[in-house]
């Protein structure tokens, strides 16, 4: 027998699911969030928490860059509303690893400046004044002072608390295996119970539990390493570094430790660590920061980020039904979180599509979606 769930159901407890659930619960809706594992255990685990619009959007992604910038500007208000999420407006650096990489980094700087971003070009003594511990082999880089970061684990915890404070319900280890629709309600079938909701938002990220989606999601594996910081103030801001042969890497300060990362691998649904991935991360970080040679490694981990074929986010509504799909946030789920959460809440409650989300929004027909009539009662 189905159990009455809530006015609004949310499938997936990643950044988008938690943020949307909080915003809708704060508007007075009864919200039920179903998560296959633990909240924040998917793509949020593969995030360093950087809020760096200047270094995320590619040259052809102007609408996405505008969305990034707007969402980043919402974070101070979110930090005030939620509490301690580790938010700091510390800026972000991007470095060229070799002289051959300088033209690429400089082109990005010119592009960023053309879009109205405040980004400073650094080389020689100016670069060392900003980053005294960077290797003398690093020729040049840029600094975007308006960027920042959060701590993903703190953000997750504060969102869970905010949902519960507004009487929302979160059910962990409750994978939705099938969705049906009957009698003006969605039936969410889990291994132990079926829940009914009036409106449904499906945002599982990488769906590992067999839930079918009406579009292809590509899992992109990100491997990460936490190492002991030489001292708590050793690095003032996140540092990204680029090499045309090995790609990107980054080092992010988190007080007593640093997060190292920089892999983006299409290896299916395998979240394993690999010798090659870990070696690439450590090799790049040591090249930039030789002082890390003697630092202790604290832990390794990996996560899967949800991407679409064109790496654009998905915001779909099914025509004639209160059914929404949010996915494809890839490595920008935390950066886009405030805009996505507030925008989707307005879309669901008022029918208003935020203009910055409009380029990624579609209304689609029911045919072919992961939806079927409810099974007959026993």
Is 274 a member of any domain?
Answer: yes
pLDDT at 194: 95
Residue with token string 């590619």: 58
The pair of structure tokens assigned to 167 is 């009487």
Full-model pTM = 0.94
The whole-number pLDDT of residue 329 equals 96
Instruction: List, for residues 182-207, the tens digit of each pLDDT value.
Output: 989 999 999 989 999 999 999 999 98
Domain of 129, CATH number, reads 3.30.9.10
CATH of the domain at 10: 3.50.50.60
Dihedral pair phi/psi, residue 70, rounded to 5°? -65, -45
Same domain, 130 and 272: yes
pLDDT band at 374 (very low <50, low <70, confident <90, very high): very low
Measured on CA atoms in the order 94, 274, 314, 17, is the torsion positive or negative?
negative
237 and 121 belong to one structural domain? yes
Question: Is residue 275 one of the residues assigned to a domain?
Answer: yes
Neighbours of 81 (CB within 10 A): 12
Kindly report, residue by residue over 36-54, the tens digit of the pLDDT.
999 999 899 889 999 999 9
Say yes or no: 192 and 259 in one domain.
no
Does one domain contain both 282 and 343? no
To which H or E segment does residue 349 belong?
helix 333-350
Section 109-135 average pLDDT? 96
In a domain, 54, yes or no: no
Asked if 209 and 227 sit in the same domain, the reply is no
Place of tokens 């969030």: 33
Same-domain pairing of 136 and 160: no
Q: What contacts 187, CB < 8 A, 6 or more positions away?
A: 2, 179, 180, 181, 194, 195, 196, 374
Please tell me the total count of domains within the chain. Answer: 2
Q: Is residue 317 part of a domain?
A: yes
**Claim to verify: residue 163 and residue 209 sit in the same structural domain:** yes
Q: Does 77 map to a domain?
A: no
Domain range for residue 23? Answer: 3-44+153-215+310-373
pLDDT at 1: 56
Higher pLDDT, 1 or 221: 221
């Amino acid at each position: 027998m189905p159990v009455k769930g809530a006015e609004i159901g949310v499938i997936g407890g990643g950044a988008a699911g938690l943020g949307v659930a909080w915003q809708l619960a704060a508007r007075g809706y009864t919200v039920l969030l179903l998560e296959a594992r633990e909240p924040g255990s998917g793509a949020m685990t593969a995030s360093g928490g950087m809020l760096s619009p200047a270094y995320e959007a590619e040259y052809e992604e102007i609408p996405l860059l505008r969305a990034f910038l707007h969402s980043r500007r919402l974070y101070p208000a979110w930090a005030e509303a939620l509490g301690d999420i580790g938010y700091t407006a510390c800026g972000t650096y991007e470095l060229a690893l070799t002289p051959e990489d300088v033209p690429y980094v400089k082109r990005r700087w010119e592009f960023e400046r053309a879009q109205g971003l405040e980004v400073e070009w650094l080389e020689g003594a100016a670069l060392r004044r900003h980053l005294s511990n960077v290797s003398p082999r690093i020729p040049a880089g840029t600094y975007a002072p308006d960027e920042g970061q959060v701590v993903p684990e703190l953000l997750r915890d504060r969102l869970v608390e905010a949902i519960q404070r507004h009487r929302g319900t979160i059910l962990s280890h409750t994978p939705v295996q099938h969705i049906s629709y009957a009698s003006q309600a969605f039936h969410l079938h889990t291994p132990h119970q079926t829940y009914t909701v009036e409106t449904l938002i499906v945002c599982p990220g990488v769906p590992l539990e067999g839930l079918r989606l009406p579009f292809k999601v590509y899992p992109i594996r990100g491997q990460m390493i936490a190492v002991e910081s030489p001292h708590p103030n050793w690095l003032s801001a996140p540092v990204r570094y680029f090499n045309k042969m090995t790609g990107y890497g980054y080092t992010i300060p988190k007080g007593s430790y640093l997060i190292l990362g920089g892999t983006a691998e299409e290896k299916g649904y395998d979240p394993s660590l690999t010798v090659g991935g870990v070696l690439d991360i450590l090799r790049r970080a040591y090249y930039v920061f030789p002082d890390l040679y003697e630092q202790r490694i604290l832990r390794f981990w990996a996560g899967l980020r949800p991407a679409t074929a064109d790496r654009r986010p998905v915001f779909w509504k099914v025509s004639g039904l209160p059914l929404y799909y949010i996915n494809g946030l890839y490595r920008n789920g935390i950066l886009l979180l405030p805009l996505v959460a507030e925008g989707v809440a307005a879309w669901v409650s008022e029918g208003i599509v935020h203009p910055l989300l409009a380029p990624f929004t579609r209304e689609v027909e029911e045919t072919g979606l992961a939806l079927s009539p409810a099974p007959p009662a026993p």
